[in-house]
């Protein structure tokens, strides 16, 4: 393609870098003990040279494109090589997000089918798995529908991109972890079946994410990444099994250390009996992690629902806020009922209102900040006005965090001085 025909203004974009330089950069990334993505990409049909071009130029080598996939409204993303790379005809990079079984449990039988799919319909490459909890499979554009049929046949589906309800992620929960308070895997399946229309058609101002964490340890980092977060919790003190505790002490467990480790001083030991003050317990799981199964999560189990944690959004990263402090979960088979209680607030009140009032590309966390927490509680969640006022006045539990002035806003001299200081500091290290 001659430069006059380029759709872009060539003076603003980099020139395609020389071949030797690209190869040098790529070779550099194959060295060292850590697994290399370049080595891995070279085993596939991925055009790794384009990646190298971007690396040398310092500008992404991909531009937005669109693939036609009738019947698939979400889950397919398309790229083409950027005009500045001068690759003619452009190379297309299409990939599909594959929704996988709960807790990412893959039997090898299923995985072999997926590998077969990626060889037959794609480049033999996949992201296993992406941060959203789905497998990202590179596809050849013409074979997209065939891939969809193949995946549906083996029980999977394509989905989870655009302004829809994205893939829901749950921690492994009861499948592998002793601390899980409810069946996170079941909750995930249930959410998807209940809200399948949300997952199909792009219809919202921006994406919606649900994440399910089994206990307050929150391995998924759900509070920071999802719009609606469900965390398993309990009321009052953890449950102490004295027999097992005795056994734990006999096996060399240090009770003094255990008492000291409690951040709020809720644990007391009178020489023969351990006591935990339920009103002081902040559910940090420290004692449980040390002594399990002698100390277990309390008997009065339930779910906490949080709202509005995001990173990628208008107002920057934020942690989720507690929306419903406690939904009782008296027995595991009452999980669906407990989730329905949550859906009554989220599905029937908050999301329709957000759909109406939210700005484009604004997640619920941003809307919440824009309309204020109090109005969110009374207008969006339609809580009783007294309750909303009470919740608003309660001491915020979020941690401190923020930056007033960023590097970008500093003056040129300040910037220069900082970088000099940094360089000076680094000289003193070995």
Partner 1 sequence: MPANTSSMGDTADQRTRIRIVVHKLAFRSGDLTPVNHPEKLAPIPYTNYVPETLLRNMGKWVKTELITPAIVKHVSETGEEVYSVKVIGPPNSRFSADTLEKLCDLADMYGIGVIRPTPQGNVEILTDEEERARKLEEELRKNGFLVGGWGNHLWNIQPCTAYLTCTTAVIDAPSIAKALGDALVEYVYEKETPAHLSIKVSGCPNACGGAIDVADVAVVGYPAQTPMVDDKWFSSIGSPLDVTAACPVGAITPKRDPSTGKAYGIVIRPELCIACGRCRDTVDAIVYDPKKTGVMVLVGGKASNTGPNGQLMSRIVVPYIPSEPPRWPTLVKVVKRIVDTWVVNANKGERIGDWISRIGWDKFFELTGLPDVRKYLRFSEKPGPLYQPLYRRRLTETYAYLFREYASKI
Binding mask 321-340 toward partner 1 (x if CB under 8 A, else -) reads -----------x--------
User: Does 279 help bind partner 1 (rule: CB under 8 A)?
Assistant: no
Which of 68, 153, 246, 260 contacts partner 1 by CB under 8 A? 153
Which of 16, 90, 130, 162 contacts partner 1 by CB under 8 A? 130
Nearer to partner 1, 89 or 396 (CB): 396
Whole-number CA gyration radius for the chain: 26
Assigned token pair, 98: 């594959």
User: Does 58 help bind partner 1 (rule: CB under 8 A)?
Assistant: yes
Binding mask 291-310 toward partner 1 (x if CB under 8 A, else -) reads -xx-----------------
| Buried/exposed 123-159: b ≥16 CB within 10 Å, e otherwise | bebbeebeebbbbbbbbeeeebeebbebbeeeebbbb
Stretch that binds partner 1, among 132-140, 267-275, 339-347, 381-389 (CB under 8 A): 132-140
**DSSP-assigned beta bridge partners for residue 137:** 96, 126
Which of 163, 218, 239, 300 contacts partner 1 by CB under 8 A? 218
Assess contact for 169 and 160: CB atoms under 8 A: no
**From the CB of 339, what's the least distance to partner 1, in Å?**
15
Binding mask 234-253 toward partner 1 (x if CB under 8 A, else -) reads --------------------
User: Does 360 help bind partner 1 (rule: CB under 8 A)?
Assistant: yes
| Nearest one of 86, 201, 80, 84 to 141, comparing CA atoms | 80
Which stretches does DSSP call E strand in 252-364? 267-269, 274-276, 295-296, 301-307, 321-328
3-state secondary structure of 429: coil
Assess contact for 144 and 152: CB atoms under 8 A: no
Residues, the chain? 430
d(CA 40, CA 38): 5
83-112: which residues touch partner 1 (CB under 8 A)? 83, 93, 95, 99, 101-112
Stretch that binds partner 1, among 174-182, 269-277, 341-349, 375-383 (CB under 8 A): 174-182
**From the CB of 294, what's the least distance to partner 1, in Å?**
10
**From the CB of 344, what's the least distance to partner 1, in Å?**
21
Assigned token pair, 370: 């824009």
69-88: which residues touch partner 1 (CB under 8 A)? 70-73, 77, 79, 82-83
């Amino acid at each position: 393609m001659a430069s006059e025909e380029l759709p872009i203004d060539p003076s603003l974009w980099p020139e395609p870098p020389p071949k030797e330089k690209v190869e040098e950069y790529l070779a550099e990334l194959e060295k060292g003990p850590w697994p290399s993505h370049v080595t891995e990409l070279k085993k596939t049909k991925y055009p790794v040279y384009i990646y190298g071009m971007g690396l040398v130029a310092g500008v992404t080598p991909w531009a937005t494109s669109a693939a036609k996939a009738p019947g698939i409204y979400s889950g397919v993303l398309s790229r083409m090589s950027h005009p500045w790379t001068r690759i003619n005809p452009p190379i297309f990079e299409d990939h599909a997000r594959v929704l996988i079984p709960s807790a990412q449990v893959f039997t090898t039988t299923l995985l072999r089918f997926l590998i077969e799919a990626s060889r037959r319909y794609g480049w033999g490459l996949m992201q296993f798995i992406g941060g959203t909890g789905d497998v990202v499979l590179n596809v050849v554009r013409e074979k997209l529908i065939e891939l969809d049929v193949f995946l549906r046949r083996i029980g999977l589906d394509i989905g989870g991109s655009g302004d829809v309800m994205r893939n829901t992620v749950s921690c492994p929960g009861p499948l592998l972890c002793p601390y899980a308070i409810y069946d996170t895997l079941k909750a995930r399946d249930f959410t998807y079946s209940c809200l399948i229309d949300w997952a199909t058609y792009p219809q919202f101002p921006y994406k919606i994410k649900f994440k399910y964490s089994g206990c307050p340890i929150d391995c998924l980092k759900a509070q920071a990444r999802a719009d609606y977060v469900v965390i398993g919790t309990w009321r009052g003190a953890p449950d102490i099994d004295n027999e097992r505790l005795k056994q734990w002490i006999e096996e060399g467990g240090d009770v003094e250390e255990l008492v000291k480790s409690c951040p709020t001083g809720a644990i007391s030991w009178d020489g023969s009996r351990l006591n935990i003050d339920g009103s002081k317990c902040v559910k940090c799981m420290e004692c449980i992690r040390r002594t399990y199964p002698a100390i277990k999560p309390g008997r009065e189990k339930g779910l906490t629902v949080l709202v509005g944690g995001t990173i990628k959004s208008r107002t920057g990263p934020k942690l989720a806020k507690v929306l419903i402090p406690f939904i009782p979960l008296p027995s595991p088979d009452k999980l669906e009922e407990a989730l329905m209680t949550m859906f009554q607030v989220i599905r029937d009140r908050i999301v329709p209102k957000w759909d109406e009032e939210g700005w484009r590309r604004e997640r619920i966390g941003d809307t919440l900040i824009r309309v204020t927490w109090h109005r969110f509680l009374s207008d969006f969640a339609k809580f009783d006005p007294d309750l909303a006022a009470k919740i608003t006045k309660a001491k915020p539990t979020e941690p401190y965090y923020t930056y007033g002035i960023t590097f970008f806003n500093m003056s040129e001299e300040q910037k220069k001085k900082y970088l000099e200081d940094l360089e000076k500091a680094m000289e003193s290290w070995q």
